[in-house]
């Protein structure tokens, strides 16, 4: 492999697998070349995990793609530096030689297990193909190796998985397939680019444990690209912190967390929401509830048969009751598919439901022909601020639109109100004539907040509203929401999968599983003394941003995810909640 490639002049330490020297990545733009990664240097040793941490735009993913030789051509390219794999400069290798290294010596897993596998090929085909790309093997033997790889990633029913297609597997199982594919040839280096960001916390925990075990067994060196300092603390031996294409700081993980040298590292660590950090205890409820939800049920039909009749139902929400009091933050937490977002949709009349929803004494109609006035009290902020702002409208018009719809004020008054809202959410008055693409992610979410505030609602539903934001931005947006709550007395229904964020901002919390609430109570009750095993699992699964923290091995066996789909006529078993004292309800 290293035969005709030039070797490094400097003596290489025996256990150094990869060394990156002065790597710069640039993109050609109309305004000339723009540097995306600027003279980055680091080394990676055998069996070590190096975390490259940073926020979006820091160049961490580009660095990994540069190592793989997969930078998107032709605009993005390496403009300087060397990438030495055991002394061989990868950048000087012709494509044919680089291809032989890719997947064999250096393998990679990606963030999105949902889209990273080819939907039209079976898991078995995709696995054997990865093996056959580098080794000439008889058909049966490649399959045996694929099966072995699936067993190595602790996949349930590995023989059956080989014949399945990616869409038949859950997100966690797909990421296991990706890992199996990557480690099947026992690479020297495994690059994991945000490997658990798209996964639920409990699944994240399983996948991280798996990576650690594989590393111990195979001696693979791992480059872990992540924005999550909790994951860094849990996994890394050494850390490289990047910001805007430059390395800010690097060092052993404990040292970096205990005594960060650079202000940016310190700010990044401070912005991370931590568990057990919740504020003062909540005052006892005195007022009438603002929102009353009673026995809310939402189900979707699955049709089939000769006459296309309803064959089964997806019981997305299977009987949920809760109250939200004025000025309170009530959080719904749970993993994907638990029905938390469906509740939000029902509350603004976007899905038909049964049961009752009352906001400020007015019932929400379930037939979607909502009367305008009844809905002024409830506004929503969504997860993806880019997707929820019309790219062809000026942001000022977007914020003023709810006022236009409800016929409030003259154009001049609306413009004044919009400018005022912009200032309130921390944007400039003169930005109101710009378009959404001219703003950063955090600013866009502020625009969405301004739009939600325009009608002076009593309740704002925030559906994963900070999940897509970088931690430092997330912290500032959460602080803004908190300030607005005190200022205007708004109540929030906060929907999130992120336990740490929920603990930091909630007054009361409900934990959802398969369309039902399994436990609800004040923040202190849920996080201080969780009663239900599912709540405990969720809390324990959250990575702790402290490298000295020792965690117990996970309890939950990997396997099939329970399904909310039931045949027609079969109803989900109702969970009964019992008061364990002081309004802390848990399933019995």
Can you give the binding site for another protein, defined by CB under 8 A? 68, 70, 99-104, 107-108, 110, 112, 115-121, 129-130, 133-134, 165, 167, 178, 181, 303-308, 311
- The partner residues of 459 in beta bridges, in order of sequence, read 378, 491
Task: Specify the residue, 54 or 103, whose C-beta has the smaller distance to another protein.
Answer: 103
Nearer to another protein, 184 or 501 (CB): 184
Residue number with CB closer to another protein (166 or 289): 166
| Least Å from the CB of residue 374 to another protein | 39
Closest to 541 measured CA to CA, from 509, 533, 292, 112: 533
In whole angstroms, the minimum distance from the beta carbon of 116 to another protein comes to 4
**Distance in Å, CB of 179 to another protein, minimum:** 12
CB of 389 to another protein, least distance (A): 23
Element (H, E) at 263: helix 263-271
Q: What are the beta bridge partners of residue 318?
A: 297
Min dist CB 313 to another protein, Å, is: 15
Give the DSSP per-residue string, 431-488: GTTS-GGGS-HHHHHHHHHHHHHTT--SEEEEESTTTTS-HHHHHHHHHHHHHHHHHH
User: Which among 52, 46, 55 has a CA at the least distance from the CA of 66?
Assistant: 52
Longest dimension (CA), the chain: 79
Minimal distance, residue 135 CB to another protein, in Å? 11
* Closest distance to another protein from the beta carbon of 208 (Å): 20
DSSP output for 495-529: EES-HHHHHHH-SEEEEEETTEEEEEEEHIIIIIS
Closer Cβ to another protein, 94 or 119, answer by number: 119
What is the spatial distance between Cα 41 and Cα 53, in angstroms, rounded to a whole number?
Answer: 14
**Alpha-carbon gap, residue 560 to 5, rounded angstroms:** 47
* Angle, CA of 169, 171 and 175, to the nearest 5°: 95
Which secondary structure element, helix H or strand E, spans residue 95, and what is its range? helix 95-101
Q: Which is nearer to another protein, 181 or 241 (CB)?
A: 181
Tokens representing 75? Answer: 């605009």
Task: Please answer whether residues 185 and 135 qualify as being in contact, where contact means their C-beta atoms are separated by less than 8 angstroms.
Answer: yes
Our CB check for another protein shows the closer of 280 and 306 to be 306
Least Å distance, CB 528 to another protein, is: 41
Measured CA angle at 222 (ends 216, 223), to 5 deg: 160
Per DSSP, the three-state class of 256 is helix
Closer Cβ to another protein, 127 or 343, answer by number: 127
CB-wise, 108 or 495, nearer to another protein?
108
CB 60 within 8 A of CB 246: no
> Of the two residues 119 and 407, which places its CB atom closer to another protein in the complex?
119
Beta carbon of residue 177, minimum distance to another protein (angstroms, whole number)? 10
| CA quadruple 285, 290, 294, 298: dihedral, nearest 10 | -130
Q: Closer to another protein at the Cβ: 220 or 522?
A: 220
Q: Give whichever of 308 and 410 is closer to another protein, judged by the CB atom.
A: 308
What minimum distance in Å lies between the beta carbon of 8 and another protein?
23
Six-digit token string for 390: 């019309």
Least spacing, CB of residue 384 vs another protein, in Å: 17
Residue 414, both tokens: 């609306």
CA 314, 317, 320: angle at the middle one, nearest 5? 155
Q: Is 245 exposed, middle or buried (0-12, 13-18, 19+ CB in 10 A)?
A: buried
Give the other-Cβ count within 10 Å of 440's Cβ: 14
Integer angstrom CA distances of residue 66 from 36, 79, 101, 106, 474: 12, 11, 13, 12, 29
- Choose between 68 and 268: whose C-beta lies nearer to another protein: 68
d(CA 138, CA 403): 69
CB-nearer residue toward another protein: 180 or 461:
180
φ, ψ dihedrals at 421, nearest 5° = -65, -40
Nearer to another protein, 181 or 275 (CB): 181
The one-character DSSP state at 346 is H
Token duo for residue 584: 């802390």
To another protein, the closest distance from the beta carbon of 387 in angstroms equals: 18
Give min distance, CB of 38 to another protein, in A.
24
Pick from 486, 482, 520, 529: which is nearest to 501 by CA? 482
Q: How far is the CB of 126 from another protein (least distance, A)?
A: 8
């Amino acid at each position: 492999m290293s035969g005709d490639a030039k070797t490094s002049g400097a003596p290489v330490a025996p256990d150094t697998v990869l060394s990156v020297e002065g790597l710069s990545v640039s993109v050609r733009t109309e305004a000339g070349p723009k540097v995306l990664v600027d003279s980055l240097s680091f080394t990676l040793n055998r069996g070590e995990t190096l975390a490259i941490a940073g926020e979006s735009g820091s160049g961490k993913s580009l660095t990994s793609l540069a190592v793989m030789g997969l930078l998107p051509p032709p605009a993005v390219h390496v403009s300087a530096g060397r990438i030495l794999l055991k002394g061989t400069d990868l950048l000087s290798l012709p494509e044919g030689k680089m291809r032989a290294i890719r997947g064999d010596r250096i393998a990679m897993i990606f963030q999105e297990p949902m889209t990273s596998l080819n939907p039209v090929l079976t898991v078995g085909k995709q696995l054997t193909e990865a093996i056959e790309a580098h080794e000439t093997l008889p058909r049966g033997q490649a399959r045996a190796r694929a099966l072995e790889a699936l067993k190595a990633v602790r996949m349930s029913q590995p023989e059956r998985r080989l014949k399945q297609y990616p869409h038949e597997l859950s997100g966690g199982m797909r990421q296991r397939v990706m890992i199996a594919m990557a480690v099947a040839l026992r690479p020297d280096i495994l690059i994991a680019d945000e490997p658990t960001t798209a996964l639920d916390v409990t699944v994240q925990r399983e996948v991280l444990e798996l990576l650690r075990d594989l590393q111990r067994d195979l001696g693979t060196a791992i480059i872990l690209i992540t924005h999550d300092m909790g994951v860094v603390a849990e996994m890394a031996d050494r850390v490289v912190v990047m910001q805007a294409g430059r390395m800010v700081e690097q060092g052993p993980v404990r040292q970096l967390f205990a005594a960060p040298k650079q202000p940016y590292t310190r700010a990044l660590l401070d912005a991370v929401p931590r568990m057990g950090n919740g504020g003062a205890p909540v005052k006892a409820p005195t007022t009438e509830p603002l929102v009353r939800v009673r026995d809310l049920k939402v189900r979707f039909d699955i049709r089939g048969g000769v006459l296309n009749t309803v064959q089964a139902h997806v019981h997305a929400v299977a009987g949920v009751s809760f109250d939200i009091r004025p000025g309170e933050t009530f959080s719904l937490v749970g993993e994907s598919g638990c029905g938390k977002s469906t509740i939000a949709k029902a509350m603004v009349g976007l899905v038909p439901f049964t049961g009752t929803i009352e906001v400020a004494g007015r019932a929400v109609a379930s037939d979607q022909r909502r009367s305008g006035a009844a809905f002024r009290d409830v506004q929503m902020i969504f997860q993806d601020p880019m997707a929820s702002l019309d790219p062809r409208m000026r942001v000022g018009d977007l914020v003023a639109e709810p006022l236009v719809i409800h016929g409030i004020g003259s154009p001049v008054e609306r413009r004044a109100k919009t400018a005022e809202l912009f200032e309130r959410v921390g944007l400039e008055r003169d930005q109101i004539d710009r378009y959404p693409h001219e703003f950063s992610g955090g600013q866009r979410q502020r625009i969405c907040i301004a739009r939600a505030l325009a009608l002076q609602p009593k309740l704002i539903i925030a559906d994963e509203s900070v999940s897509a934001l970088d931690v430092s931005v997330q912290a500032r947006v959460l602080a803004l929401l908190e300030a607005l709550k005190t200022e205007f007395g708004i109540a929030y229904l906060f929907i999130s999968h992120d336990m740490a964020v929920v603990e930091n901002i909630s007054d009361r919390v409900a934990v959802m599983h398969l369309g039902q609430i399994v436990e609800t109570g004040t923040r202190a009750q849920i996080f201080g003394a969780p009663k239900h095993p599912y709540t405990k699992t969720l809390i324990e699964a959250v990575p702790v941003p402290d490298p000295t923290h020792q965690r117990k091995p996970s309890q939950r066996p990997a396997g099939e995810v329970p399904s909310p789909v039931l045949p027609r006529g079969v109803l989900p078993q109702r969970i009964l909640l019992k008061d364990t004292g002081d309004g802390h309800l848990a399933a019995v």
